[in-house]
Copies of this chain bind each other. A is one copy, B any other.
Amino acid sequence: MTTLHRLPAGAWPDLPGQRVVFGADAPLRLDCGAELGSFPIAFQTYGTLNKERSNAILACHALTGDQFVTGPHPLTGRSGWWQSLVGPGLPIDTRRYFVIGINVLGGCMGTIGPREINPASGKPWGLDFPMITVADMVRAQALVLDYLGIEQLFCVTGGSMGGMQALQWAASYPARVFASVPIAASAKHSAQNIAFHEVGRQAIMADPEWCGGDYLAQGRNPSRGLSVARMAAHITYLSEAALHRKFGRTLQDRDRVTYGFDADFQVESYLRHQGSIFVDRFDANSYLYITRAMDYFDLVAEHGGVLANAFRDTPVRFCLVSFTSDWLFPTAESRAIVRALNAVAANVSFVEIPSDKGHDAFLLEEPEFFATLGGFLDGCAEHRGLAPLSEPA
């Protein structure tokens, strides 16, 4: 299996999907003030765009996701990140909807980011890459929609940072969004979440192989630091209950503890495995940039301290989803968004899904979650006048 870190920096491997260069004529102006000219965006589509171009769903990925929403990932061979939710007969039914996955700005799966080649130097951007924000990610996604000839998304959705994008889309381009489903998200990143991100960044930067961000040019890789960052983050994606249920204090392939620093406990072995497989598919500098974009996300501050101002007179139909055991993006964050939407009399529904699976629940098969999302989309499709499926699969 080809793994990403064996690819040379900036190379576009033989991946399915499309990679289109934007910004050659009109550079993309970023929130930080920098401009990007002639930059690639990689995306992948599933299903068929109807002739009215009215059935497109943008599935926005989270921190470490990419454009490969479903199906075997061409580099890792593992399932796409929303495999359980997107496909024929699933809540986001690809027989009815045209689903788009776009690798975010700053990512490492073909869209411009710190591992791509900086034309000014002929070397990977590294830390010379400009800082990007969630609003920048959404601006870039709008270019892809223009390219595809899609004036309005039927729906924009995603979990975690994907949910931030779903909110940002509704705030930035209300006329281009029929429905928005932010899942396990928040309108501003919390202090605790910034703190966890900072630990991950410090772990990466503490690795001497990071080389001040210049590791690709020097043929090195801060895989140990990135692995530690992933391990710390991975704990936050689960819940104490899920960890207890899955692992408890069960030992790993042994009858008793070894009185040493081997992975005596299954939970240790699991975490080490999560760290080690992550570094094969993800770029350390992308991890820095994308965590920072999440930290900076604050729709409240951007609207004068009043979140409702982001959605005044919005035509968008919203459905907010949270999970009871998600302590990274707890239900209170979704409730704050619902209150702001209610304050402007927006069309909003909200469901808190009972689950012990923590933040990761948005990636997993949770029947009530599936029923909520499927039902909301069905209702919106009817309002939007989308043709029903002619017959069940």
Enumerate chain A interface residues (CB-CB to B < 8 A): 31-33, 127, 130-131, 188-192, 194-196, 198-199, 201-203, 205-208, 224-225, 227-228, 231-232, 235, 238, 240, 243-244, 246-249, 257, 259-261, 263-265, 267-268, 271-272, 275, 288, 292, 295-296, 298, 301, 327, 330
Q: Contact: A198 with B31, CB < 8 Å?
A: no
Q: Contact: A272 with B235, CB < 8 Å?
A: no
Chain B residues contacting A301 (CB-CB under 8 Å) are 249
Chain B residues contacting A207 (CB-CB under 8 Å) are 206
CB contact under 8 A between A206 and B228, given known A130-B259, A267-B198: yes
Q: Contact: B295 with A265, CB < 8 Å?
A: yes
Chain B residues contacting A208 (CB-CB under 8 Å) are 208
Which residue of chain B lies nearest to A191 when distances are taken between CB atoms in the complex? B243
Given contacts A131-B259, A203-B203, A208-B208, 11 further A-B contacts (CB under 8 A): A31-B259, A191-B244, A192-B235, A192-B238, A194-B268, A195-B231, A195-B271, A198-B265, A206-B228, A232-B232, A261-B288
Chain B residues contacting A206 (CB-CB under 8 Å) are 203, 206-207, 224-225, 227-228
Chain B residues contacting A205 (CB-CB under 8 Å) are 261
Task: Output the least CB separation between A328 and chain B (Å).
Answer: 9
Chain B residues contacting A295 (CB-CB under 8 Å) are 264-265
A227 CA to B201 CA, complexed, in Å: 12
CB contact under 8 A between A190 and B231, given known A206-B225, A208-B208: no
A203 CA to B222 CA, complexed, in Å: 12
Which residue of chain B lies nearest to A295 when distances are taken between CB atoms in the complex? B265
Chain B residues contacting A192 (CB-CB under 8 Å) are 235, 238, 240, 243-244
Chain B residues contacting A188 (CB-CB under 8 Å) are 249
A194 CA to B265 CA, complexed, in Å: 8
Majority-rule SS of A interface residues: helix
Question: Of B127, B244, B265, B271, which is within 8 A of A199 by CB?
Answer: B271
Which residue of chain B lies nearest to A226 when distances are taken between CB atoms in the complex? B206
9 cross-chain pairs, A with B, having the tightest CB-CB distances, nearest first: A131-B259, A32-B259, A206-B224, A191-B243, A198-B268, A192-B240, A191-B247, A191-B267, A199-B232
Which residue of chain B lies nearest to A257 when distances are taken between CB atoms in the complex? B296
Chain B residues contacting A243 (CB-CB under 8 Å) are 190-192, 195
Residue among A131, A191, A198, A265 having the largest count of chain B Cβ atoms under 10 Å: A191
Residue among A248, A260, A265, A296 having the largest count of chain B Cβ atoms under 10 Å: A265
Q: Contact: B235 with A195, CB < 8 Å?
A: yes
Question: Of B194, B228, B240, which is within 8 A of A202 by CB?
Answer: B228
Chain B residues contacting A195 (CB-CB under 8 Å) are 231, 235, 243, 267-268, 271
21 A-B contact pairs sorted by A residue (CB < 8 Å): A33-B259, A130-B259, A190-B244, A191-B249, A191-B265, A191-B267, A192-B243, A192-B244, A194-B249, A195-B231, A195-B243, A195-B268, A198-B263, A199-B228, A202-B231, A203-B203, A240-B327, A240-B330, A249-B301, A257-B296, A261-B288
Which residue of chain B lies nearest to A205 when distances are taken between CB atoms in the complex? B261
Chain B residues contacting A265 (CB-CB under 8 Å) are 191, 194, 198, 295
Chain B residues contacting A296 (CB-CB under 8 Å) are 257, 259
Task: Output the least CB separation between A94 and chain B (Å).
Answer: 36
Question: Of B130, B199, B271, which is within 8 A of A235 by CB?
Answer: B199
